[in-house]
Structure 1
């Protein structure tokens, strides 16, 4: 028993990871990372979340909710920035955990992120399909019912064909290499940002200050509850850290990419909240498409179609960056032998982990095309917050490691208090998650531990 315990607590070598990751091309810059982060964070949620939370929890005070959520997120973001600067390797929290805590904790964090990314992408793919079908119906185009939804013969649906096709398209783009795929992401992110700015520019002229009164109809309690809801609108900035092995100057670029993403997204979320609640009373914003609804109320219905394009662009880049991240995560676990080693191979021509992209694509395509994910999507929050908690606390042992030199890299300020505060804030949000969701999560982790001890330990490169 003692031998097994010492075995699973064995720590991975940073030098070994850096050596293996040399097969990947270091071509990304700070600008690429920021656009990757904005692509992952700003999805359809910016057109939906502010309206729902304003109507149900915070009123016009939602702008304060976003500020509070930013403070919570920024503490975790700074911890990720220090890790990605000190450990410029693929795998994000999985690799960081393996080096700082040992292989078992690295596996648990990796397993948590696999669940987070796969469920997030599969659910967004379903949302993209719904938006696209609605958009096409405006031109009189309607696909057969059998191809319009997940497997549910009782209602005549067998496969959500657009969900499957969009996942396959994204995988094809990612095959051509990190630099080329990020250029495509950059273009779509710029289009998405222009559409958001168009809404802000048009909506500004229809603001009625009276709609901001009362500013806190649900009190500060409502604002704080709203902050716990909009916190999840920021999920995705951690995907930037998965690109560390493909960045030209990770010590400089990784912190800029992670923190820059958070700043830009915060500004956009707050501006959309200000304009949206100024255009229409918060009482009327509890609808599926509050931004389009607000434009129709002020007589700008023709712009609603453009907003739909913005939402689809947002979902596309979010899925693209999430699939990018999970393919690097699966590659890292395969690289270490904890999953079949073919997953840790890098394509010599395009210098990307094609095998892991293929496996991830197949699983996500099946999930989004055939399965209803409504009851499982809250699991995304657990995986993310567990990773945030351990990465925050991990700053303390990271600083004490003599073998990891990071003199010129980013450092979390107010050490060690800020990392501890970050972990406590994550635990506070974890305590708000329902028992049912925790039961699903524990089943997932138990399944993961079975795989780790039956396959991972015997095949691990550390063994």
Structure 2
């Protein structure tokens, strides 16, 4: 029991990346930034912006994005420092192991499993909806039973299953090919977003921005908690640590640049969305960007935006599945999950077993289960991970001041404390049902750790051998 709070040596963590099971180092700062943008710009901008404007923020949606962006910015600086010190796969899980101890690493890893798995399922179902919409616009109607889960009166969500398995096959082929596809997809969706701004520019009515905060500051902060989903993904950059050519320099750049680019995009788009159409008209609208163009009579632009949204969701799926497999890889290498999850193919240098398992699990979730409100668990799981990483930076500064830090988070402990406060407040603003579900998931994770993870921990086994 005393070993559950024992930290793992950073030198040992780095040494593990150089063995036979190491991953292929092919990524640079540009690819990492594109991975971040690919993960962040997706369902958030194409789906939830309208709901947030109508129900929470009104025209002050731009302020909600700024608040969420600040919470992420403070956490991102902490991630950037950790990524330069511990350039190892696993993201927040690995950082927790190095700074706080094994049990906290497990808790973060368990949170990240929740975040990525639910995200993959949710985004795949959204992808399926956009495919159906585009096919209908050209006269092709898929059978309804192949678009809904059994719980919704269908047989399966076939398009969702197909895209998840296709992304899984791409990831098995190699990181280099996946990154190249992601770069192309990101370029397409950024072009579509730019097109929306250009088309909407001449139709903005400043009267639509009054009243600016119809729901007051409470609505702004509640909106911030809701749109936080739009920022989830920048942490996926750090899961690629072992596949980066110069991780200590390029990882912090990828994390910070991707978050900065996406925050600016969100602010601009939210401003135009509420300027073109009154905020209350977005109530119940699941495709607000396309809806806005329809309202001003640019139907062809609406179709293009739908295509762009499809590409956007594809890149999110790619990066989320990539991140999930790397977390499994890191946790299995430490013995906290079964060892076979960490097996690396000698030819492709990718963790094929974990990729296959994640693909099958995500295909089952997206094809046969209704996601619904459970997607909010993605938010709370990520916020909890951000809090633990931020605390970890302060602890590691105190316990290991001697470590080389190519990137240093400024104003420690002020910035980490701000991240904890912002993220904690956003958790508080989420609904009670989501908070209770997270507590249940947290408790289940502790049971799994004490029954399996603690007994099979590589570090604990090495301790026993040494003694």
TM-score, normalised relative to structure 2: 0.94
Contact conserved, 1:115 with 1:379, CA < 8 A, in 2? yes
CA distances 1:4-63 after superposition (whole Å, capped 9, x unpaired) = 2x1212221222222222211221111111100010010032123332222222222222
Give the corresponding residue for 2:263: 266
Contact conserved, 2:157 with 2:366, CA < 8 A, in 1? yes
Give the corresponding residue for 1:344: 342
Contact conserved, 2:174 with 2:348, CA < 8 A, in 1? yes
Q: Does structure 1 residue 13 correspond to structure 2 residue 12? A: no
Contact conserved, 1:50 with 1:272, CA < 8 A, in 2? no
Q: How does 1:83-122 map to 2 (within 5 A)?
A: 83-122=82-121
Q: Offset of 1:156 from its aligned partner?
A: 4.1
Flag the 1:445–1:214 CA change in 2: closer, same or farther, 3 A: closer
Contact conserved, 1:58 with 1:226, CA < 8 A, in 2? yes
CA distance in 1, matches of 2:191, 2:15: 41
Give the corresponding residue for 1:151: 150
CA distance in 2, matches of 1:223, 1:341: 45
Q: Offset of 1:433 from its aligned partner?
A: 2.8
CA distances 1:77-111 after superposition (whole Å, capped 9, x unpaired) = 11111111111000011111111111111111101
CA distance in 1, matches of 2:331, 2:232: 22
CA distance in 1, matches of 2:309, 2:90: 29
Flag the 1:404–1:244 CA change in 2: closer, same or farther, 3 A: farther
Q: Does structure 1 residue 226 correspond to structure 2 residue 218? A: no
CA distance in 1, matches of 2:301, 2:228: 28
Q: How does 1:176-325 map to 2 (within 5 A)?
A: 176-286=173-283, 287-325=285-323
CA distance in 1, matches of 2:49, 2:122: 19
CA distances 1:267-326 after superposition (whole Å, capped 9, x unpaired) = 111111122222122232222222222212221111111111111111111111000001
Give the corresponding residue for 1:163: 160
Contact conserved, 2:221 with 2:426, CA < 8 A, in 1? no
Q: Does structure 1 residue 134 correspond to structure 2 residue 130? A: no
Q: Offset of 1:355 from its aligned partner?
A: 0.9
RMSD of Structure 2 on Structure 1 (CA)? 1.6
Q: How does 1:5-84 map to 2 (within 5 A)?
A: 6-22=2-18, 23-84=22-83
Flag the 1:404–1:142 CA change in 2: closer, same or farther, 3 A: farther
Secondary structure of the structure 1 residue equivalent to 2:349: coil
Secondary structure of the structure 1 residue equivalent to 2:163: helix
Q: Does structure 1 residue 375 correspond to structure 2 residue 370? A: no
CA distances 1:151-175 after superposition (whole Å, capped 9, x unpaired) = 23xx641111111100000001111
Secondary structure of the structure 2 residue equivalent to 1:375: helix
Aligned residues: 456
Q: Offset of 1:404 from its aligned partner?
A: 6.4
Flag the 1:51–1:436 CA change in 2: closer, same or farther, 3 A: closer
Secondary structure of the structure 2 residue equivalent to 1:175: helix
Contact conserved, 1:145 with 1:156, CA < 8 A, in 2? no
Flag the 1:435–1:220 CA change in 2: closer, same or farther, 3 A: closer
Gaps of 5+ in 2: 461-467
Deviates most, 212-221 or 93-102: 212-221
CA distance in 1, matches of 2:219, 2:153: 41
CA distance in 1, matches of 2:137, 2:36: 32
Flag the 1:53–1:434 CA change in 2: closer, same or farther, 3 A: closer
Q: Does structure 1 residue 416 correspond to structure 2 residue 430? A: no
Give the corresponding residue for 2:464: none
Contact conserved, 1:86 with 1:404, CA < 8 A, in 2? no
CA distances 1:128-158 after superposition (whole Å, capped 9, x unpaired) = 1111112112222222233221123xx6411
Secondary structure of the structure 1 residue equivalent to 2:131: helix
Give the corresponding residue for 1:124: 123
Contact conserved, 1:44 with 1:312, CA < 8 A, in 2? no
Q: Does structure 1 residue 433 correspond to structure 2 residue 451? A: no
CA distance in 1, matches of 2:215, 2:154: 41
Contact conserved, 1:30 with 1:254, CA < 8 A, in 2? yes
